[in-house]
Amino acid sequence: MDKKSQIESLNKICIKCNLVCYTERFQQDFKNWTSDNNDIDKFIQGSQLSAHGNVEEALEWIPYSKFCDIEYIAKDKYKANWIDGNIINWNDDNQNWERKGQIVIVELRRLYDSKNITFEFIDKIDKPYGITQDPETENYLIVLNNKCKKCNYVCYTKYFQHNFTNWSSGSNDIDKFIQNSQLLAHSYGVKKVLEWIPYNKLYNIKYIAKDVYRANWTDGNIINWNIYNQDWKRKGQNIIVQLKGLNIPKNITLEFIDKIEMDYTFYGITQNPETKNYILVSDNKCLKCNLVCYAIHFQQNFENWTSGNNDIDKFIQDSQLSAHDDAERALEWIPYDKFYNIRYIAGDMYRANWIDGNIINWDNNDQDWKRKRQNIFITLKKLYNSKNFKLELANKKPYGITQNPDTKDYMMVLDDKCNNMCDLKCYAIHFQQNFGNWTSGNNDIDKFIQDSQLSAHDNAERALEWIPYNKFYNNSYIVKDTYIANWIGGNIINWDNNNQTWKRRGQNILVTLKKLYNSKNFILELANKINKPYGITQNPVTKDYMTVLADECAECNLVCYAIHFQQNFGNWTSGNNDIDKFIQDSQLSAHYDAERALEWIPYNKFYNIIYIMEDMYRANWIDGNIINWDNNNQTWKRRGQNILVTLKKLYNPKNFILELANKINKPYGITQNPETKDYMTVLADECTKCNHVCYAIHFQQNFGNWTSGNNDIDKFIQDSQLSAHYDAERALEWIPYNKFYSIIYITKDMYRANWIDGNIINWDNNNQTWKRRGQNILVTLKKLYNSKKFILELANKINKPYGITQNPETKDYMTVLADECAECNLVCYAKHFQQNFGNWTSSNDDIDKFIQDSQLSTHRNIKKAIEWISYDKLYDIKYIGEDIYRANWIDGNIIDWDNNNQNWIRQDQNMIVQLKGLKVSKNITLEFMDEIKIDYIFYGITQDAETEDYMMVLNDKCKVCKVKCYAIHFQQNFENWTSGNNKIDIFIQGSQLSAHYDVTIALEWIPYDKFYDVKCIANGSYRANWIDEKILSYWDVKNQNWKKGVQNPFVTLKRLNNPENIALELTNEINKSYGITQNPETKDYMMVLSDECKKCNIICYAIHFQQNFGNWTSGNNDIDKFIQSSQLSVHNNANKALEWIPYERFINIEYVAKGGFSKVYKANWLDGNINYWDNEIRHWKRGNQYMVVVLKSLNNSKNVTPEFINEV
């Protein structure tokens, strides 16, 4: 053969892959190797022939000479280096296999039974590369990857597995149990892994209770693998563990251990060499924390100390047992010799240094408590009542309890830190330590000052202090009971740790001394001061207590505007106490904004005073208004010198707050006319709300230029204009009647006209007049019936109002309305309805008003409207019951407005409606309509042309859905069919009334003549085609009928054995049900069933089995029922179903033994088991032909139970 032919034969194309795949390469090499064992050769070749696209699935025969450095690991296991490495691909250039992992470590494991080797067997162990044979022992060995097959690397499980030969408990059950736990480790961690712990790794073993001991474990527990040391990394060396007897080593399971680990962390198993008892090694686990928390460490030390007092011991232990995650909250018993430099401080209190310092957390390495602040200062305070120390310890930060060995007094060991909120020695503590060094001589004042100091944790400047009177000099009288002085010391700012005293600032500062009238109520007195208080002193001559006040504001912490105003109070007066107090209060509130303060303005500061209108004048103010304080000149800065202001008489000086509140102008202050003695408010031209000349001010300035001749109307228009600060378009205006032309009558008291000027939009500053738009726009003029109630009248209009005018001939006042809707600002549904009011009438004013009111409320929601419906728009009118008729409505209901055709868009033409008598047209209201709409859709009102009775046009509304759902459409058809059986009718109707949103759950009555090709399938069951167009799908609004789908479907007709209990019969069917019919010859009622499964909504396996029930029988009803039940339950997994198998389908039947229930035989089953349904051949697809099966004789068919099946 030439080279070309040889290559062509080598490159033979695989039929499956349509290329030269891996399988072809392996097959071409079959002649080049053999294991000398046909089973192994066949097995390896089988793996290679299945490796079309994945070469790593193939095994290979590996000569033993390809291994080096072969080492024994354990029984029948070896470790070796594989020279070649494993196949990864085919190299076309070299016409050979490419490999990787040369000199890779592999495991060799003995193969005991080459005849039973399968892929399933191989899959259970590590990833295999191939098979080899030891030439000396002639044992076949599987060549395995050293990596874990699950993890694809050397995981924890592999490290544990490599060590199995290095230990043994001496019990196969325990060894197997420990190894199983280790084989589950993989990469998920070693937390649940157990190990065998030699007994000599435990020391300090102490008896605790029956079968329970405590000990220290030298090594500590495994945490992970150390790659560098090739050994396990551990933590918790010398940890305390618990040893608990293991009484049932044969029954030990991972489930048993999981139960134990609810209360313990389980480390492993050991054995007492003397008693030979196996013992569980565990740690105490806190039930609350699910780990060994601080509370457990404290508990393990209870036996190592005592105070000699049971109550104290219990109290300390309780505190330690509650310190799960915070060791610092626990108390401890502290021996007295742990203190030194013990010094007396005050009654029953000592100060000392504590050698050890306080506990902070647990040191796992040293298995002891970590501490901080060695040799710290602490306070020792006598404990008076060892039974009530909880109360004594309240409000203190305690470290523990000790006992003076001389006096036998128990003492609390307390921190110098603040226990309230700071967790450090804060300002409050420094103040407290000085309480014994001063007194005011008044208990109330002492307590008040101390309380202020104890609250000054992080801000010393908020504390008051007792200040001896000799600390002040240059004391000068200012006003009654008030003095100014210099304070030598200055105020406290913080603590100086170096000098152990208070740091101060502002030495020799000016302060105010003000007499304290009521030492019991000084809180209230201080609250009324705006000055910041420093403390309290006492004049030794007068014995008066006095508050020491800063010149700074208590609120602002600086000399703010309020202080500057206050310092000037003695320089002016209005001559009226109420006015003085009002001005002063406004000034004392002006901390950051001087412009909000009022001031007393002498009348001679005004010139060019001109009368405007009643009690109002305009003038120029020489000084202008205050803006801020000038520190250089120590006076107020002002602006707007000679500005125009308004002077308005103040009618009631006691109620000027209310008077000023009603002004829109910003107030500057108050003055008094020296001639009339009238007090007057000084007002800016600016708006007090907007802080500038807004629209409201422009309107206000024009009030003198118009009048309607009616005070109520004038006030109403002015109020609307004074509220239009930012939006001039919301203001109404008085519009002279001569501003309208082309005035045309529309309907009663309504006219349409053109308005020359158009409506106001904003102010034109250049021309000092109003800008307008919409000149010559169309407006509506509507008579105003009650000038005192025009607010109510305007509120009932949907049109936007522009203002009010008056017809000079009739003297009628009229509202000027826009064509747009006032609410929507556009032509909405309400406007379209309104424009049509002249085109219909019911001839009844009450009904017309009711319909119009409903239409005017629609705006953007058309569903709110009802309409007048001409009686000739209804046909097929049928009497149903008292005052109730059914009819078809030609037009259908309104759903939207069509702008193109300028008409209403409608839906549901020729829809069925209900006509219900309307007896009380005078009492009809929107509330009445709302009540009707609870149960019905309310479309409108009509009138019977013959009887002249008014009738509501309604549609049934579902009470569940609040709309006309599928259930209503079914209900309206109840009168058009019957089964002839009340119970069947009720059952079908019930299913239809529950089909609100899902028509497919409804059953229907189907006449028998709607079926053809009716064929008997089994006893009581038939197959047929259903003529009736389509199965129900949804309601067709256009055709007012049901839309259907699936023409002429196959259905099953099954006799209804008990019409009294239809629900139970349908429940027992797995087929989806369509309805009920009746055979006219036999009179049998029959269920109409789909081929689809009602659970799966398709033709599932259960349906295929069901369709075959008529083709077999066991001859025994109980067995038939049992098999059928199993088949009807297998919707998507045919493998789970049982089947009836004729005996002749078995060959090679051999007796084996007698089983628990019966005799046992072995046989070959010709057909094999069902796998799945083949839709192409319309039959079951089977596998495992000629498979070996076991036959057990069934002695009692009535005892076929799940227990029997489980035993099988």
Digit-coded pLDDT (tens) for 204-221: 898 877 888 888 899 989
Are the beta carbons of 192 and 264 closer than 8 angstroms? no
| Beta bridge mates, 616 | 613, 648
What is the full DSSP assignment across 162-182? HTGGG---S-HHHHHHHHHHH
Whether 794 has a pLDDT exceeding 90, the answer reads no
User: What's the rounded Cα separation, in Å, for the pair 909 and 470?
Assistant: 104
Please count the other Cβ atoms lying within 10 Å of the Cβ belonging to residue 1046. Answer: 12
CATH ID of 695-826, from 2.60.40, 2.30.30, 3.40.1350, 3.30.200? 3.30.200
Determine the pLDDT at residue 112: 83
Give which of 1186, 1202, 1023 is closest to 1106, Cα–Cα.
1023
Whether 356 has a pLDDT exceeding 50, the answer reads yes
Which range is least confidently modeled, 239-253, 760-774, 878-892?
Answer: 239-253
Give the rounded percent of residues in the chain with a pLDDT score beyond 70.
Answer: 88
Determine the pLDDT at residue 408: 93
Give the rounded percent of residues in the chain with a pLDDT score beyond 90.
Answer: 33
Whether 13 has a pLDDT exceeding 80, the answer reads no
The predicted model gives 1113-1139 an average pLDDT of 87
User: What's the rounded Cα separation, in Å, for the pair 835 and 742?
Assistant: 19
Tens-digit pLDDT profile for residues 859-879: 889 988 999 999 999 999 988
Determine the pLDDT at residue 1156: 57
Tens-digit pLDDT profile for residues 56-94: 889 999 999 999 999 887 778 888 999 999 999 999 888
Are the beta carbons of 670 and 572 closer than 8 angstroms? no
Task: Provide the mean pLDDT of the chain.
Answer: 84
* Residue 895 parent element (H or E): strand 893-898
Using left for φ > 0, alpha for ψ between -120 and 50, and beta otherwise, residue 406 falls in alpha
Q: How far is CA 1098 from CA 669, 1004, 1021, 1091, 1105, in A?
A: 89, 21, 20, 8, 14
Determine the pLDDT at residue 499: 87
Tens-digit pLDDT profile for residues 907-917: 889 888 889 88
First to last CA, the chain: 62
Tens-digit pLDDT profile for residues 1003-1047: 999 999 999 988 887 777 888 888 875 445 677 766 777 776 666
DSSP category for residue 624: -
User: What's the rounded Cα separation, in Å, for the pair 897 and 328?
Assistant: 77
**Domain spanning 842-956: which CATH class is it, in words?**
alpha beta
Determine the pLDDT at residue 184: 86
Determine the pLDDT at residue 1207: 47
User: What's the rounded Cα separation, in Å, for the pair 135 and 131?
Assistant: 13
Q: Which residue has the higher pLDDT, 929 or 281?
A: 281
Task: Give me the phi and psi of 1099, to 5 degrees please.
Answer: -85, 95
Q: Note the pTM of the prediction, 2 decimals.
A: 0.35
Is 471 exposed, middle or buried (CB count within 10 Å of its CB: 0-12, 13-18, 19+)? Answer: middle
Q: How far is CA 75 from CA 110, 156, 162, 368, in A?
A: 9, 21, 12, 45
The predicted model gives 92-118 an average pLDDT of 84
Determine the pLDDT at residue 520: 61
Determine the pLDDT at residue 563: 84
Tens-digit pLDDT profile for residues 458-507: 899 889 999 999 999 999 886 678 888 899 999 999 999 888 899 998 89
| CATH code 3.30.200 for 306-414 | yes
Residue 1120 tokens read as 């038939």
Tens-digit pLDDT profile for residues 541-551: 999 999 998 87
Long-range interactions of 547-553: CB distance < 8 A, separation 24+? 547/513, 547/514, 547/516, 547/522, 548/467, 548/487, 548/511, 548/512, 548/513, 549/511, 549/512, 549/513, 549/514, 550/491, 550/509, 550/511, 550/512, 551/509, 551/510, 551/511, 551/512, 553/591
Q: At what angle do helices 845-856 and 926-935 cross, to 10 degrees?
A: 70
Determine the pLDDT at residue 615: 81
Q: Which residue has the higher pLDDT, 200 or 1030?
A: 200
Is 238 exposed, middle or buried (CB count within 10 Å of its CB: 0-12, 13-18, 19+)? Answer: middle
The predicted model gives 892-896 an average pLDDT of 92
Determine the pLDDT at residue 662: 53
Determine the pLDDT at residue 627: 93
- Please name the residues in contact with 615: beta carbons below 8 A apart, sequence gap of 6 or more: 648, 649
Q: How many CA atoms, within 13 angstroms, populate the side-chain half-sphere of residue 182? A: 23
At 230, the pLDDT band (50, 70, 90 cuts) reads confident
The domain ranges of the chain are: 4-146, 158-285, 306-414, 427-559, 567-687, 695-826, 842-956, 969-1095, 1103-1207
Whether 237 has a pLDDT exceeding 70, the answer reads yes
Which range is least confidently modeled, 158-167, 744-753, 1197-1206?
Answer: 1197-1206
The predicted model gives 103-122 an average pLDDT of 74
User: What's the rounded Cα separation, in Å, for the pair 1155 and 657?
Assistant: 107
Determine the pLDDT at residue 1022: 87
Give me the amino acid identity at 209.
Answer: A
Residue 218 tokens read as 């030298």
Q: Collapsing DSSP states into helix, strand and coil, what is residue 951?
A: strand
Determine the pLDDT at residue 1031: 47
User: What's the rounded Cα separation, in Å, for the pair 872 and 887?
Assistant: 11
Cα dihedral sign, 704-708-713-716: negative
Tens-digit pLDDT profile for residues 375-426: 988 889 888 875 666 555 654 678 999 999 999 999 999 887 776 667 677 8
Determine the pLDDT at residue 933: 66
User: What's the rounded Cα separation, in Å, for the pair 790 and 784?
Assistant: 7
Whether 147 has a pLDDT exceeding 70, the answer reads yes
Tens-digit pLDDT profile for residues 982-1003: 989 988 898 888 888 888 888 9
Q: Which residue has the tokens 């919409």?
A: 774
Common-topology check for domains 306-414 and 842-956: yes
* Spatial strand order in the sheet of 1004-1005: 1004-1005, 1071-1078, 1085-1093, 1050-1055, 1021-1026, 1011-1018
The predicted model gives 161-172 an average pLDDT of 84
Determine the pLDDT at residue 620: 93
Determine the pLDDT at residue 391: 52
The predicted model gives 944-962 an average pLDDT of 84
Tens-digit pLDDT profile for residues 818-857: 877 878 878 889 888 877 887 889 888 889 888 988 888 8
User: What's the rounded Cα separation, in Å, for the pair 280 and 270?
Assistant: 7
Determine the pLDDT at residue 1090: 82
Determine the pLDDT at residue 1134: 85
Strands 903-907 and 874-881, by their bridges, are unpaired
Overall fold of domain 158-285: Phosphorylase Kinase; domain 1 (3.30.200)
The predicted model gives 1176-1188 an average pLDDT of 86
Strands 936-943 and 950-956, by their bridges, are antiparallel
Residue 226 tokens read as 């150390």
Determine the pLDDT at residue 6: 41
Determine the pLDDT at residue 1064: 65
Q: Which residue has the higher pLDDT, 297 or 10?
A: 297
Whether 1202 has a pLDDT exceeding 70, the answer reads no
Whether 920 has a pLDDT exceeding 70, the answer reads no
Determine the pLDDT at residue 734: 96
Q: Collapsing DSSP states into helix, strand and coil, what is residue 1175?
A: coil
Determine the pLDDT at residue 124: 44
Determine the pLDDT at residue 1097: 78
Determine the pLDDT at residue 23: 92
Which range is least confidently modeled, 152-166, 244-258, 791-805?
Answer: 244-258
Determine the pLDDT at residue 432: 76
Whether 176 has a pLDDT exceeding 60, the answer reads yes
Overall fold of domain 969-1095: Phosphorylase Kinase; domain 1 (3.30.200)
